[in-house]
Amino acid sequence: MNKPTLLILAAGMGSRYGGLKQLDGVGPNGETIMDYSVYDAAKAGFKKVVFVVREFFRADFEKRVRERYAGNIEIEFIEQELNRLPEGFSVPEGREKPWGTGHAVLVAASLIDTPFGVINADDYYGQTSFAVLADYLTKSEGKKGDFSMVGFCTGNTLSESGVVSRGVCLVNNTGYLTSVEEHHNIKNENDIIWGDNSKGERVIIDSNRPVSMNMWGFTPDLFKEGNNLFSEFLKEREDDLKAEFYIPFIVNELIKTNYASCRVLSTPDKWFGVTYKEDREAVAKKISELVSQGVYPTPLFV
């Protein structure tokens, strides 16, 4: 039985953060959040990590990663560039950025042939989260349309430094995802969590409502189905130079057509991350506490 692969989305520039936050050290020996995710993934049983990066910073990024992870887990790299498009499409004049997280997943198709997890490079998910995802993916081998998502409570995913965007989930009574709706400008105001839904309406979000933090599990048939959807997306929105093709769009469409189901996996772990530069101090403190508790060794990789 093959072990699952982990796909790490590391191509983002971190505009609100002010730089490549995926390489910013927050651990006692300069470890990044991504380092802790790779450590947790290897411990959970993932066999390989594929990093999605941009060409202009790949050399420095790859050097750093190979120095840290050599001998700990198999690693590969793929670039998310504008011209990595389905056959018959070209980059529209004036387009400056790739097409978002869905596009980032699809560019890795040539490197993945097992069930695989997807995470953001700059988010901390926790050891149990990786363990439950790896377990589900292992059982998904040989299946099609058997997707999963680790859900985090909205109240455990906010930033003290500003508003955030989250994929708010609807889950049926059997534990499967019905839909994901992107909400923006989410923040806690006097112990009530508010956010703007997809219609631009300001709504209250229950603190226990599960949200997607881009910790997904997929079977490899996602690539073919996702590329078909991406082609349709490009036909309709090719002239929109800021349009983005998100992972939740792929999942929603494949659930809607009954091609796929998506199991929502529970975790007691608390998410944290560095959306804003001001978040860094709090993240470093949380990492320090986990090291002090013996959750992680220091240095992380030897």
Residue 299 belongs to some domain of the structure: no
Residue type, 35: D
Q: What is the structure's pLDDT at 170?
A: 92
Domain membership of residue 164 (yes or no) is no
d(CA 54, CA 11): 5
Distance CA 222, CA 255 (A): 12
Residue 16: what pLDDT?
41
Rounded distance, CA 136 to CA 247, Å?
19
Q: Residue 259 and residue 273: Cα distance in Å, rounded?
A: 33
User: In this predicted structure, what is the pLDDT of residue 133?
Assistant: 98
In a domain, 302, yes or no: no
Q: Residue 125: which CATH number?
A: 3.90.550.10
Element (H, E) at 192: strand 192-196
Q: What is the DSSP letter of 266?
A: P
**Number of domains making up the chain:** 1
Is 163 among the domain residues?
no
Q: Is residue 204 one of the residues assigned to a domain?
A: no
How far apart are alpha carbons 194 and 21 in whole angstroms? 26
Q: Cis peptide leading into 299, omega within 30 of 0? A: yes
Q: How far apart are CA 20 and CA 12, in angstroms?
A: 8
Structure tokens at 133: 């995802």
H-type alpha helices, 18-126: 33-44, 55-69, 101-106
* Residues 264, 172 contacting (CB under 8 angstroms): no
Q: Taking the CA of residue 15 as centre, how many other CA atoms within 13 Å lie in the half-sphere pointing to its CB?
A: 1
Asked if the structure places residue 159 within a domain, the reply is no
Tell me whether residue 179 is in a domain: no
Residue-level pLDDT at 18: 41
In single-letter form, the type of residue at position 158 comes to L
DSSP, collapsed to helix, strand or coil, labels residue 210 as strand
Q: Identify whether 124 is part of a domain.
A: yes
**Which residues span the domain enclosing 90?**
5-146+210-292
Amino acid 156: pLDDT: 87
**Residues paired with residue 123 on neighbouring β-strands, in sequence order:** 273
Per-residue pLDDT of the chain (302 residues; tens, 9 = 90+): 689 999 999 987 544 434 455 677 899 999 999 999 999 999 999 999 999 999 988 998 999 899 888 788 999 999 998 888 888 888 888 888 889 999 999 999 999 999 999 999 989 999 999 999 999 999 999 999 999 999 999 998 888 788 999 989 999 999 999 988 989 999 999 999 999 998 999 999 999 999 999 999 999 999 999 999 999 999 998 788 888 999 999 999 999 999 999 999 988 888 988 877 788 888 999 999 999 999 999 999 87
pLDDT given at position 20: 57
